[in-house]
Structure 1
Amino acid sequence: MNNEPNGLLLAHRAMLRDLDRCAGLAAGLARSGERLDRKRATAIAGYLTDFCDSIHHHHSAEDDVLWPVLERSAGAHVDLTELTDDHAVLDPKLARIRSGAAAVATNRTVPAELAADLADLRDTLHEHIADEERTIVPLIKRYVSDDEWNRVEAAIRRRGAKMSFEVPRILAVSTPGELAEARREGGIPVALMIKLMPLPFKRREALVFGAGR
């Protein structure tokens, strides 16, 4: 096989970037005890909630769509037990962060507990994603056909991720070469998406993380 699971790798790249900067933002605000204005508090809460939803969508799509394909294709060569166990602990962590985010919107401060939960999620997923890319990506390349991988990606898209949140984050971590390839493959619609979708999202990011972040 010569397929490349680029969508999976880009999703991981975007997730790791946000894990680092969300954990860093929360740690700094918790240390300072800063009382946020209502608009920024609401923006931070909304971003953290969307991020938790994005992580849940990603790992549930792996469980429901990708893992069965790998088990059929790679057979005895794949053991997904450890990765599945990792996924099982994510939802309680995400629930705590969603609860903490709601408290930010109400109280307009970032509690130390939320900062600790985000740091824990960051550490957990950095390790998990490294394990996944080391073990799963080679199996996809070797055992999953191009046609089967295209069906996997199509099935995941049908699960309804929030594209206004996902696409700008993916574009932000794409290399110039990856963006050029996307334009070649997608034509004018994708070129317009690449040009226009990041604009409102950058304003949202500036409110959440501060200018230049």
Structure 2
Amino acid sequence: SLASLSWWHRRDLPNWLPWISTFALGLIIFQGVLGGLTVTELLRFDIVTAHLGTALLFFSTLIVIGTLLTPYQGTGSVGKLPWLSLTAVIFVYLQSLLGGLVASRWAVHQCFGASELCTVMNSHIAGVVPATVATVAVVVIASRTPALHPVLRQLANLAASLVVLQILLGVATFRLRLQVELLTICHQAVGAALLGVLVGFTVFALRDRTSVECQSQ
């Protein structure tokens, strides 16, 4: 519906909207194909991970559309925050994929039970560092940036809360060796929420920077 309506009303909408809506539709179709393969291939780990990655990419695309359509007037104080938050987005996305790989391959059980797939598990544990450092850097710099737009400040505060919650859930999930399904689901859901917040922050920050540059010209 989004893609068809955006093309139907394209004369009254931003030029980019029909194209990004079509991209989102393509992701949904690809996601459906991967979903079918996930069932027919009996939850093969690479397909499950690709299924997760596509879902997160679709979710991020919707966040981008929403933030681009939201009225926003930049203050011109973002500095390097757009690129720093984009880095955090990439790290969190990759970390989410590693988490899906750990879950789909039962890497925690395999490592502790048979000393197999420990590299996969350790990669996810090590991936916590860059994702957390990048997110915390965004939060700290945002808190120290004067005249930062209230929306960006709120998103930064939300990201701080989510990253703390995500670490706590990750530790609990690891200690319980993924035995509590609800805890594992919450861990993945909070990770997706953190990704969405960072994507929104990045888009708003880029709009802030772009709007000020256009005004200066």
TM value normalised by structure 1: 0.47
Larger-Rg structure: 2
Where relative contact order (Cα < 8 A, 6+ residues apart) is larger, the structure is: 1
